[in-house]
Amino acid sequence: MRIGILTSGGDCPGLNAAIRGVARAAYQTLDAEIIGIRAGYRGLIDGDYQIMQQSQFSGILTLGGTILGTSRTPFRNMRVVEEDNVDKVYAMKMNYKAMRLDCLVTLGGNGTHKTANMLSQEGLNIIGLPKTIDNDIYGTDFTFGFHTAVDIATDVIDRIHTTAASHSRCMVIEIMGNKAGWLTLYAGMAGGADVILLPELPYDIGKVAKVLDDRAKLGKYFTIIAVAEGAMTQEEAAMKRKDREAARAQSEYNNISQRIAVQLQELTGVECRTVIPGHMQRGGSPCAYDRVLSTQFGVHAAQLIKEGQFGVTVALQGNRITHNRLEDIAGVPKPVDPDSQIVKAARDISIAFGDK
C-alpha cells in the first residue's frame, strides 16, 4: 500500500504530529510505504517527492511546522493554465500515477480541502485531515493547530494586561482570522479582553468608544481589545466584498488594529497602542491537546485507508473521531454564530462586541 502525504496552505502546530499518526498507524496495521510529497500541491504538480523511512517519523511529535514543507496553491488557480503552460490538474493526476499511489492524504485548511475534493472527483483516492488555526472547516468541532494558537494568543493578551494597567492605556491586539473569528473569540475570552471584535459581528466604533468611557467612570482606566484581522464596521459589512477591499486598499491605515486605535484615541482621549503577534500564532511546538487530536486524526486516516474509504475528511464531532464526505464540506464556511452559547456567555460577563 503506497500512501502519499502532503501538507498544504499555511503551516501550524500539529502537522508533524498528524503525519506521524498516519505513518505509524499505517506501518502498524498495513503493509505500507509512505511517500512524502514536498511543498504541498506544488510538489504533486512538479513530481517532487521522496520515499520516507520509518525513522523519519520519530522525534517529530513535538516539532512545529511540517517536515514535508508547504506552499499556497490557490484553488481558484488550479484549473488555470498560467505562464508556465502547466495543466496543474492533469499534472497532479499523472504524478499520482507515476508515484504508484494507492491513496493520498492531504493535510490543510479550506483551500486544501477544495482541491482535495476536486482530485477526488477526478478519480483519485483522497483522505483529508482538517488543519487550520482559524478553526473554520465545516463539519468538525475543532481543527488541529487551533488550540495551540489560542494558547499563544491568550499568552499575548495576558502579558499586555500588565502594561495596559500600568500606563492606563487601551491596547488593541490584532489576532489572526480573516473570515472567521474563532481564534479571537476564544483567546479574547481566555485572556479577559473587555472588547472582542469579529468578522461575524460588525462593529460601531462609537459603541466601542463608549466601553472605554464607561470603564473610566468605574475607575477602570485601561481597556483590552481583541480584534480579528477580518473584523469590519457595520458600514463595511453593508458593502460588497470587492468594494470593501478596494476601500481598505485606499485607507491611510496599514491594518485594522491601527485604524481602531487611532479612532478610539480621537474619540476618547485615551492613549491607544496596537499589538500584532502575527505569525507567532502559527509557530512553535503544538500544545498537548493538539498533539493528541492530531495523532487521533492521523490514526483514523490510516483506518480509513485500511477500510478503503476515500473521498472523505477526518473530523471531531463531540467526543468522536469520525469523517465527512469531502463533497459535503469543501468550501462550506464555518463562521462564529452570533447567537451561539459561547457568544452569549461572553456577553453575560460584560464582554462587548461593539455591535450593541
131 and 165 belong to one structural domain: no
Pick the last residue of a domain from 282, 310, 337. 282
In which domain, by residue range, is 236 found? 149-282
* Grid coordinates of 164: 495596559
Q: Identify whether residues 140 and 8 lie together within a single domain.
A: yes
DSSP H or E stretch at residue 164: helix 146-167
Our CA dihedral for 268, 192, 187, 138, rounded to 10 degrees, sits at -90
251 and 202 within one domain: yes
Whether 157 is in a domain gets the answer: yes
- Count of domains observed in the chain: 2
pLDDT score recorded for residue 252: 87
Rg value, the chain, Cα: 22
Torsion angle defined by CA atoms of residues 296, 300, 302 and 307, in that order, rounded to the nearest 10 degrees: 160
Q: Is 136 a catalytic residue?
A: no
C-alpha 220, offset from chain centre: 34
CATH assignment at residue 193: 3.40.50.460
Same domain, 125 and 193: no
Pairing of strands 223-228, 170-175: parallel
Cα within 13 Å of Cα(99), Cβ side: 31
For residues 13 and 137, membership in a common domain is answered with yes
Q: How many residues does the chain have?
A: 356
Residues 126, 8, 185, 331, CA torsion sign: negative
Which CATH number is 90's domain given? 3.40.50.450
Q: How many helices (H) and strands (E) does the chain have?
A: 13, 11
Task: Per-residue pLDDT tens, the chain, 356 aa: give them.
Answer: 999 999 999 999 999 999 999 999 999 999 999 999 999 999 999 999 999 999 999 999 999 999 999 999 899 999 999 989 999 999 999 999 999 999 999 999 999 999 999 999 999 999 999 999 999 999 999 999 999 999 999 999 999 999 999 999 999 999 999 999 999 999 999 999 999 999 999 999 999 999 999 999 999 999 999 999 999 999 999 999 888 888 888 888 889 999 999 999 999 999 999 999 999 999 999 999 999 999 999 999 999 999 999 999 999 999 999 999 999 999 999 999 999 999 999 999 999 999 98
356 within domain boundaries: no
- Residues 108, 7, single domain; the answer is yes
pTM, full prediction: 0.95
Give me the catalytic one of 31, 84, 87, 134. Answer: 134
Residue 174 lies in a domain: yes
Q: Are residues 207 and 195 in the same domain?
A: yes
